[in-house]
Structure 1
Amino acid sequence: MRAIRIMPNLRVDDVEAAKGFYTGFLGLSTEEFNMGWVARYTSPETGAIVQLVTRDQTSPEDAAISIHTPDVEAAYAEAQRLGYEIVHPLTTEEWGVHRFLVRAPDGTVVNIVGHDS
């Protein structure tokens, strides 16, 4: 698998209530998207990034990080071949990403994601 972008997913109770700290104090002033339950903020100067997540909409567990890859199908096949626990199967979500969630051997849930062309 080839990771092209890695971002933390921070669990928050309320995206709107939390975003001021990250956008103002930390300077992550660009809101890439906000779906109410998940939002991504970046710094236009540095590229620093964070996602705020209240609760994953389709997975039974929340991911600690999201990893973007250009070939999510190959990553899924590799995770299965290696015997990793698939927490959420390979799915094209209604918001346009192709993803699955996998549990790392240390117990961390990881969101592996690609964008449909």
Structure 2
Amino acid sequence: MAIKRIVANIGAQDVEKVRAFYTALFDLDVVMDFGWISTLASGFDAPVQISIASEGGSGTLVPDLSIEVDDVDAVHRRAQELGYAIEYGICDEPWGVRRFYLRDPAGKLLNVLAHGS
């Protein structure tokens, strides 16, 4: 058996507002939209991973989603420019990632990160 895809589903009353958040902050493309559901994609293949955790590391909450980007500082700047509240400031963690936390309009806690090189 091979896993072909894992999809994160975010429950939201205002699908349009949440879609706008992800397209503006992460440059995701709308690949399907029926009004009640909108699917976004990056156009890149990514490995399938599921993390199971008792905490988010460094004493933080376990995030609902972790989104790895190529330039976490640029996404952090964009989040600030768009007026999104940062819940855990950008920092270099001892396990080799640079990251920050923020919430999407549906209240999901996002861990935005880049692995060190």
- Indicate whether the TM-score tops 0.5: yes
Runs (4+) of structure 1 exceeding 4 A deviation are none
- Gaps (5+ residues) in structure 2? 1-5, 9-46
The answer (yes or no) to whether the contact 1:7–1:51 under 8 Å persists in 2 is: no
The aligned runs of 1:55-70 (5 Å cut-off) are: 55-58=55-58, 60-70=60-70
The aligned amino acid for 2:64 is A
2:109 maps to amino acid: V
Give the distance between the partners of 1:97 and 1:75, measured in 2 at CA: 15
Q: In structure 2, what residue type is equivalent to 1:73?
A: D
Determine what percentage of the aligned residue pairs are the same residue.
32
RMSD: 2.1
Structure ranking higher in strand proportion: 1
Gaps of 5+ in 1: 1-5, 9-46
Taking a change above 3 Å as real, the CA distance of residues 53 and 104 of structure 1, as seen in their structure-2 partners, is: same
Distance in 2 (CA, whole Å) between partners of 1:77 and 1:113 is 13
Number of residues paired by the alignment?
Answer: 74
Partner of 2:89: 89
Counterpart in the other structure of 1:48 = 48
Supply the distance in 2 between the matched residues of 1:103 and 1:50 (Cα, whole angstroms).
20
Return the TM-score normalized by structure 1. 0.57
What is the TM-score of this pair, normalised by structure 2? 0.57
